[in-house]
Structure 1
Amino acid sequence: MRNQIEAIVQTLNGQPAFAYGTQAELNTLADDITFPCVFLYPPQPIEVSPQVNGSVDNTFTVYMEFLFKTDFGQYTADNETYIAQAQQMANQFVVKASKYREGEGRYFRIKARQKAKCVPVYNKFDVNTTGVGLTITLSTMYFNIF
């Protein structure tokens, strides 16, 4: 799933870099990465739902941060432009994830009216970044049949 999310991120406007890992790993990676950047944290939780036809649905709760590098000492009001740009990137990600295809069909199912939560993120990591954090539930469209 990480590979599919990275593929979607690579199609976003602004061509953000992509990194995957835990909070500590991302803090280290942020020191040498190009911004803007999308940071993907490991999915928590993964819901496994057995179906009547012998398949299994997997639903992932994903947390991602869409971040821009900012200067130390900037006030919150100075960073609102970055928040707006990051929000646009997050919105674009949701739309592209719902249309992303692998093989013959869509990879993710994102239901209409399904809520995703987006919150501002200020002064994150040692390099000082600002943007938004997106929490979204993604259901995979490909099933394992046993």
Structure 2
Amino acid sequence: MRNQIEAIAKSLSASPSFLYGTEKELNTLADDITFPCVFMHPLQPVILSPHVNGSVNNVFTLYLEFLFKTDFGRFTAENEDIVQQALLLANEFIVKASKYRDAEGRYFKIKPGEKAKCVPVYNKFDSNTTGVGLTITLNTMYFNAY
């Protein structure tokens, strides 16, 4: 999953960097990364759903942060333009994830009506970043054993 998410993140219009890891790891790695950046936190439990036709559907919850580096001492209201930019990246990510192709077919399906949660993130990490955190449920296309 991580490789597919990274490929989608790096295809976004702002050309963000990509990091994957725990909160503590990301805090350390953020010191040396180019911003904007997409931070992917470890996957939550993956739900495997076997089907009658012998395929398996994988459903997982993903938490990503779309972050920009900000100056220390800025008030929350002063960061609203940055939150808006990050929100646009999160929207673009969802659209591109639903169209992402790996080999011959789409890799993910995003069910119509499925809701993604996006919350502003302020003064995150030691390097001081601002943006949005996106929680989204993705479904992989059916997996068939070879």
Amino acid at match of 2:93: F
Which runs of 5 or more residues in structure 1 are unaligned? none
Partner of 2:120: 120
Q: TM-score, normalised by structure 2?
A: 0.97
Shift of 1:142: 3.9
Partner of 1:15: 15
Helix, strand or coil: the match of 1:144? coil
8 Å Cα contact 2:55/2:142 also seen in 1? no
Q: Which runs of 4+ in 1 moved over 6 A?
A: none
- Residues 1:91 and 2:91 aligned together: yes
Amino acid at match of 1:59: V
Partner of 1:137: 137
Helix, strand or coil: the match of 2:58? strand
Amino acid at match of 1:39: F
Deviations 1:30-86 (A, max 9, x none): 010000000001110211111112221111100000000001111000100100000
For residues 68-83 of structure 1, the aligned pairs below 5 Å read 68-83=68-83
Which runs of 5 or more residues in structure 2 are unaligned? none
CA RMSD of aligned residues (A): 1.0
Shift of 1:92: 0.1
Shift of 1:145: 3.1
Q: TM-score, normalised by structure 1?
A: 0.97
Q: What CA distance in whole angstroms lies between the structure 1 residues aligned with 2:81 and 2:45? A: 32
Q: What CA distance in whole angstroms lies between the structure 1 residues aligned with 2:100 and 2:127? A: 32
Helix, strand or coil: the match of 2:32? coil
The number of residues matched between the two structures is: 146
Deviations 1:116-139 (A, max 9, x none): 000000000000000000000011
